[in-house]
Amino acid sequence: MIDATKIRKGMIIKLEGKLYRVMDCQLITPGRWKAMVQTKLRNIKDGSQLEYRFRSEDRVEQAYLEEVEMVFLYRSGDEFFFMNLQNYEQIKLDLEAIGDGVNYLVPEMVLTIEFYEGQPVGINLPKTVDLKVVETEPILKGATQTAINKPARLETGLVIQVPQFIKEGDVIRVDTREDKYLERVKTG
């Protein structure tokens, strides 16, 4: 059991016998009143969402998950297929379990799949992912490198802001926690 004030985005908690992923979490301290933790939760099994407010003194059961390293194989519609690197067993996860991670999945990517009581419930992405830029505006003549960023569409469909010198075909490193450009990756 953990204090409600220790709840963080991405955690899996057990509430009323069901597993929920914390989608958003905010500590609210209204003046002289006691602090509260306002959360948006998504049910792991059926994908339904709810907002729940914990008092600061509430205790919450954090679900401990088994983590298995797997490789992403392919996507078929809203289903994603992964293979265990130890025993070559394959599993399938739906779009709900993947969540925002869908923006970073590329074939042959190694990541961690979370299991609860033998059932896959979610993924843990690496902190950074290298992705290819497939569409962006050309470099503006006379623009300096410190100029305003421009949008770029990556191979997964994700659109992020990048510096002016980035062009189509470049491979860039992206922070998966903040959907943010970090650097251009040297290839070859």
Domain ranges of the chain: 2-62, 66-124, 128-185
- Architecture per CATH, domain 66-124, reads as Beta Barrel (2.40)
Q: What is the fold of 2-62?
A: SH3 type barrels. (2.30.30)
What pLDDT is attached to residue 70?
A: 94
Whether 143 shows a pLDDT value over 80: the answer reads: no
Mean pLDDT across 114-130? 85
Please check whether the two domains, 2-62 and 66-124, share a CATH topology.
Answer: no
Amino acid in position 63: A
What pLDDT is attached to residue 125?
A: 84
pLDDT one-digit tens code per residue, 32-73: 888 888 999 888 777 688 899 888 888 888 888 888 999 999
Q: pLDDT-derived band of residue 126, with 50, 70 and 90 as boundaries? A: confident
Superfamily of domain 128-185: Nucleic acid-binding proteins (2.40.50.140)
DSSP conformational letter for 102: G
Mean pLDDT (the chain) is 85
Q: pLDDT-derived band of residue 24, with 50, 70 and 90 as boundaries? A: confident
Residue 136: C-alpha distances to residues 42, 133, 184 (Å): 34, 7, 14
Mean pLDDT across 4-25? 83
More confident residue, 53 or 188: 53
With contact defined as beta carbons under 8 Å apart, do 112 and 70 qualify?
Answer: yes
With contact defined as beta carbons under 8 Å apart, do 185 and 173 qualify?
Answer: yes
DSSP conformational letter for 25: E
What CA–CA distance (Å, rounded) separates 62 from 65?
9
What pLDDT is attached to residue 188?
A: 60
Q: Where are the beta strands (DSSP E) in 4-144?
A: 12-15, 18-28, 36-43, 49-55, 59-62, 66-76, 79-84, 90-94, 110-116, 119-124, 128-136
Mean pLDDT across 106-121? 87
